[in-house]
């Protein structure tokens, strides 16, 4: 059946290599490195995961993940060492589990780089890169997660010994959910309430050794372990830890911006929020890398929908599932989103590189906006992909329920991302707070408004107008869609701002307003902003990247249109309430959405092949490149399933013994 894919490839009218570059941050070098990496990993049996992986116990899976990390870090003269961004990127796509050093690399190391002094970095980083020190990011507690300021773990400074004394004063102060803590880590960056001479100085990170470097046994006063199986991420050893009078040298507090002198004097420079710079980079990684797992799900879903045939047409020919409009909607909206998130990620990464140079030069003026961009993208780039992945799994019918489809592990592996490193609702509320402040500044005519919300000035004029569009072709104009999204975001931000003002005049406190009266509207406003922000990034990436041919730009513009229109149709209430659009235009928007499906259908295989994933990264019988879907399913079930190694399955003897029991008569 491989000829099906060959026939589909003949329909492709753009260069998939151009879109692969678009997918990987517009970088030819990254495409080259990732392509070579996929080939190298696939050629190594120790780095190719077999279909029986999901029949293994959790303990055996964790053991395999450790063996895999060791192999990666020694393979090809350490070319793909997990200290490199390339190694992390290949590993994310190659394995159905997270590599043990993910937190060590993405949170522990960046925090030390951002917050550690030059002397501390020279002292610790060589040992960290060599894995002599394996670290974790010890912030979340049993009783507090997103509310960092309410963390209960304490670090009392003892002036007489120049040490911090770390304690877990309550049950709820137990550190919880900490990745790499349960099994692997021997050090932890512990975020604790700093107390000096009876005075509190907020939450600060302190490097604490928690296990013996030779025996790996917990040190005296440390109670540590794994928190147990979860929904997804079961290979990740999320752990708990409690501290009982653990003494740590003063020099182990990260002191680039906050310092404690020998005699207990606390000083601070720069923006206090820089303390969360490590988390900022983690959110950047989540928002700009991990959503690409949606591309894997799409590659499986689209290829299987091209292969699978169900129900005959009037001339007796079975129809490809992908030719049903309902199936197209399940696949093409996620496809549009995937490209939109990739384009927006490229913009965000470029902005973050500029931001890093700014803070290195002591300029913290854009820290808050960068924090909001990363937080908003983290929420937006995980909420939609997770929903899409599950819908893609469902679109594959019964076979999508099998681990051999590759889809359940993608869904399960992605689920934690909507919660970890910032629960998404909290992220949206942080964005909303930024938007309300930005709206106030815009209304007051402030000279400097953050670049990401400068559209509000034009938006405040647009909301007083009506949409002039009477045909589908007018609706599909990208500049018209841009205006619609500006109005959608501006109206919702303005509307919730006015409601806040009204409630305040009625005597409601800010806490009442935010917590119990307008939280849902604030989240909606934040999502409307992120929709516009993602769209405009997508649009600009299409227009400004000169390596894209006209045919590539044409299909990308179709996806950009679908991204915008599908989101508008999903939640048009702001546009309706504002009076900017009328009922007939709502109907036009729906028609416009459906009109995009046929052109995307013709290019669907090329659009997912452009992601560059091979069989070894997809790990799916449903998308196998030789087209032998059913043969592969039967082979894996028959020959890769331990239950079929014997016709006398373990436990069956109990069924046999039941025959010796005289059954009670049914009443």
- Catalytic residue set: 421
CA distance 392 to 386: 10
Closest CA to 536 of 465, 472, 454: 454
Tell me 217's DSSP state: P
From 191, 70, 214, select the one nearest 140 (Cα to Cα).
191
Do the beta carbons of residue 58 and residue 229 sit within 8 Å?
A: yes
User: What stretch of H or E contains 626?
Assistant: none
Could you say which DSSP state residue 104 is in? I
- In contact, 256 and 122? CB cutoff 8 Å: no
Q: Provide φ and ψ at 80, rounded to 5°.
A: -110, 25
CA distances from 443 to 446, 485, 493, 494, 497 (A): 8, 20, 12, 10, 11
Known binding-site residue numbers for FAD: 140, 179
DSSP 580-617: SS-HHHHHHHHHHHHHTHHHHHHHHHHHHHTT---HHH
How many CB atoms are closer than 10 A to CB 170? Answer: 13
- The alpha carbon torsion through 279, 280, 282, 288 (nearest 10 deg) reads 160
**Helices of type H across 276-404:** 277-288, 293-307, 325-360, 367-395
Q: Name the burial class of residue 311, with classes exposed (0-12), middle (13-18) and buried (19+) by CB atoms within 10 angstroms of its CB.
A: exposed
Question: In this structure, are residues 93 and 296 in contact, taking their beta carbons and an 8 Å threshold?
Answer: yes
> What SS3 state is found at 403?
helix
CB atoms under 10 Å from CB of 371, counted, come to: 22
List the helix and strand counts (H, then E) for the chain.
Answer: 26, 13
């Amino acid at each position: 059946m491989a000829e099906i894919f060959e026939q589909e490839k003949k329909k492709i009218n753009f260069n998939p290599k151009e879109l692969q570059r678009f997918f990987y941050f517009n970088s030819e070098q990254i495409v080259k490195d990732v392509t070579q990496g996929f080939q190298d990993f696939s050629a190594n049996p120790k780095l190719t995961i077999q279909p029986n992986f999901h029949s293994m116990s959790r303990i055996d899976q964790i053991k395999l993940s450790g063996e895999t990390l060791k192999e990666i870090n020694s393979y090809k003269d350490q070319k793909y060492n997990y200290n490199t961004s390339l190694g992390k990127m290949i590993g994310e796509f190659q394995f159905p589990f997270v590599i043990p050093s993910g937190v060590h690399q993405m949170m522990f190391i960046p925090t030390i780089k951002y917050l550690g002094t030059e002397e501390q970095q020279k002292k610790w980083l060589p040992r960290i890169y060599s894995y002599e020190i394996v670290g974790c990011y010890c912030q979340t507690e049993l009783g507090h997660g997103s509310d960092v300021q309410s963390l209960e773990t304490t670090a009392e400074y003892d002036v007489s010994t120049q040490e911090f004394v770390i304690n877990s004063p309550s049950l709820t102060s137990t550190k919880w959910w900490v990745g790499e803590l349960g099994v692997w880590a021997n050090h932890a960056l512990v975020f604790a309430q700093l107390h000096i001479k009876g005075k509190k100085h907020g939450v600060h990170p302190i490097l604490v050794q928690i296990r013996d470097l030779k025996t790996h046994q917990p040190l005296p006063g440390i109670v540590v372990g794994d928190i147990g199986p979860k929904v997804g991420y079961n290979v990740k050893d999320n752990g708990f830890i409690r501290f009982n009078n653990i003494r740590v040298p003063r020099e182990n507090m990260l002191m680039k911006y906050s310092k404690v002198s020998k005699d207990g004097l606390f000083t601070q420079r720069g923006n206090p929020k820089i303390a969360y710079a490590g988390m900022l980079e983690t959110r950047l990684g989540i928002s700009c890398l991990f959503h690409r797992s949606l591309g894997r799900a799409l590659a499986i879903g689209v290829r299987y929908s091209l292969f699978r045939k169900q129900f005959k047409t009037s001339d007796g020919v079975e129809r490809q599932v992908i030719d049903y409009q309902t199936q197209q909607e399940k696949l093409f909206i996620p496809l549009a989103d995937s490209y939109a998130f990739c384009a927006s990620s490229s913009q965000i990464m470029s902005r973050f590189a500029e931001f890093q140079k700014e803070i290195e030069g002591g300029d913290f003026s854009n820290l808050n906006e960068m924090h909001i961009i990363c937080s908003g993208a983290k929420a937006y780039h995980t909420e939609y992909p997770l929903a899409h992945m599950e819908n893609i799994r469902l679109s594959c019918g019964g076979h999508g329920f099998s681990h051999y489809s590759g889809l359940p592990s993608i869904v399960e592996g992605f689920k934690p991302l909507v919660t970890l490193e910032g629960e998404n609702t909290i992220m949206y509320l942080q964005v909303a707070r930024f938007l309300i402040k930005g709206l106030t500044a815009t209304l007051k005519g402030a000279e400097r408004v953050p670049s990401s919300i400068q559209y509000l000035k034009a938006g405040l004029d647009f909301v007083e107008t009506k949409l002039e569009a009477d045909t589908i072709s007018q609706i599909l104009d990208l500049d018209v869609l841009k205006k619609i999204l500006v109005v959608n975001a501006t109206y919702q931000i303005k509307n919730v701002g006015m409601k806040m003002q009204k409630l305040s005049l009625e005597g409601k406190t800010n806490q009442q307003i935010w917590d119990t009266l307008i939280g849902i509207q604030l989240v909606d406003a934040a999502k409307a902003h992120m929709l516009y922000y993602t769209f405009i990034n997508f649009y600009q990436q299409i227009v400004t990247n000169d390596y894209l041919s006209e045919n590539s730009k044409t299909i990308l513009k179709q996806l950009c249109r679908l991204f915008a229109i599908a989101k508008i149709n999903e939640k048009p209430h702001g546009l309706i309430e504002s009076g900017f659009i009328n009922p007939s235009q709502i109907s036009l928007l729906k028609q416009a959405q459906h009109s995009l499906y046929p052109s995307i259908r013709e290019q669907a295989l090329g659009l997912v092949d452009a992601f560059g994933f091979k069989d070894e990264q997809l790990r799916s019988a449903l998308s196998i490149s030789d087209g032998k879907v059913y043969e592969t399913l039967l082979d894996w079930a028959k020959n890769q399933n331990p239950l079929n190694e014997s016709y006398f399955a373990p436990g069956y003897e109990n069924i046999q013994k039941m025959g010796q029991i005289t059954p009670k008569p049914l009443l």
